[in-house]
Amino acid sequence: METELKLRFSREDGPQLLNDDPWLRDLLMPGSNTVKRMKSVYYDTSGSDLQTLRTSLRLRQEEDEYVITIKRDDGFEEEADGLHQRMEWSAVIDKDNDFELDFEKGFDTTAFLRFATSSGDPEESLREVLDLIEGQPLIKVCSAEFTRHSSYLGFGDTLMELSIDAGQLTGGDSTEDFAEVEVELQEGDARDLFALGKELLARFPLEPEPRSKYGRCLALKDNG
C-alpha cells in the first residue's frame, strides 16, 4: 500500500522557498538527493475499463529507465487533506526482461505478474486488473512530464521520501503547468507523516492536493 501526502504550491517561488529553508535541510538525509527527468503516459482500454475499476496503468520513463506501475483505488479520486493511499505494483523494465512497451499491441499480463513487486498488496487484486485487460489493446489517455527533486528525511521515528515535482500535465488538447510536493511514507508511523504535512502547510505556500497527476490529466481531457 502506497501512503503519501500531495501538497501543491500556491506561489511560483514555492519550490525555491522549500529548497532554501534551513529547517527542512536539517531534516534531509545527507547524500540522498536525486534529480530525475520523468515522463509518464497513462493507458486504458477503449472502453475505459481501468477508470471504471478505479485503477491507473502508467508507463514512466525515468531518465534511461522504464517503470510500469498499476495503482488501484485512487488514480483519479479526490482524497481529503492531500492523503493518498493506493495499492501499487511496479515492474522495472530493463534489457533482461523482454517486455513489449507498445501497449497498443496488447499488455503482457504474464510478464508483468512475473516482474512486478509491491509492498504486500494482495495479488488477487492485481490479477483482477490483469484479467480485465488481458488480450486488449491499450490506448494512451493522457501524460505528464516533469522534473523530480527527491530526498529522504527523518521526522519523529519515521523515514519518508520528499519529492518536489514541477512540469506539465496533458489531457487531450489541454495542458497545465504544475508544481507540487509529495511526501511518501517509507517506514514508520503514518502519524509522523501527518505531523510533517501540517508543518509544511504552516511554513510554506502549500495547499492539500486532493487529486493525483492522473486525476488532473483526466480533468483536462474531459474539460478540454
Q: What DSSP state is assigned to residue 96?
A: T
The pTM of this model reads 0.94
- What does the alpha-carbon distance between residue 206 and residue 88 come to, in Å, rounded to a whole number? 26
Is a pLDDT exceeding 50 seen at residue 18? Answer: yes
User: What's the confidence (pLDDT) of residue 75?
Assistant: 43
**CB of 113 within 8 A of CB of 99?**
no
Mean per-residue pLDDT, 13-19: 98
Mean per-residue pLDDT, 137-165: 98
**CATH classification code of 2-223:** 2.40.320.10
Residue 187 has phi, psi (to 5 degrees) of -160, 145
Mean per-residue pLDDT, 98-125: 93
Summary mean pLDDT of the chain:
94
Is a pLDDT exceeding 90 seen at residue 146? Answer: yes
Grid cell for residue 27: 531534516
Is a pLDDT exceeding 60 seen at residue 133? Answer: yes
List, in sequence order, the alpha helices (H) in the chain.
14-20, 22-27, 49-52, 109-115, 123-133, 190-203, 213-223
User: What's the confidence (pLDDT) of residue 216?
Assistant: 97
Give the count of beta carbons closer than 10 Å to the beta carbon of residue 36: 15
Element (H, E) at 160: strand 158-171
**CB of 222 within 8 A of CB of 169?**
no
- Per-residue pLDDT tens digits for 195-211: 999 999 999 999 999 99
Mean per-residue pLDDT, 109-116: 94
Is a pLDDT exceeding 90 seen at residue 224? Answer: no
Mean per-residue pLDDT, 139-151: 98
- Per-residue pLDDT tens digits for 61-94: 998 899 999 999 844 444 567 899 999 999 999 8
- What does the alpha-carbon distance between residue 87 and residue 180 come to, in Å, rounded to a whole number? 22
Identity of the amino acid at 119: S
Spans of all domains in the chain: 2-223
- Per-residue pLDDT tens digits for 91-109: 999 867 778 899 999 999 9
User: What's the confidence (pLDDT) of residue 97?
Assistant: 72
**CB of 15 within 8 A of CB of 22?**
no
Q: What DSSP state is assigned to residue 77?
A: -
User: What's the confidence (pLDDT) of residue 10?
Assistant: 98
How many Cα atoms occupy the beta-carbon half-sphere of 25 within 13 Å?
6
- What does the alpha-carbon distance between residue 43 and residue 129 come to, in Å, rounded to a whole number? 13
Instruction: Give percent above pLDDT 70 in the chain.
Output: 96
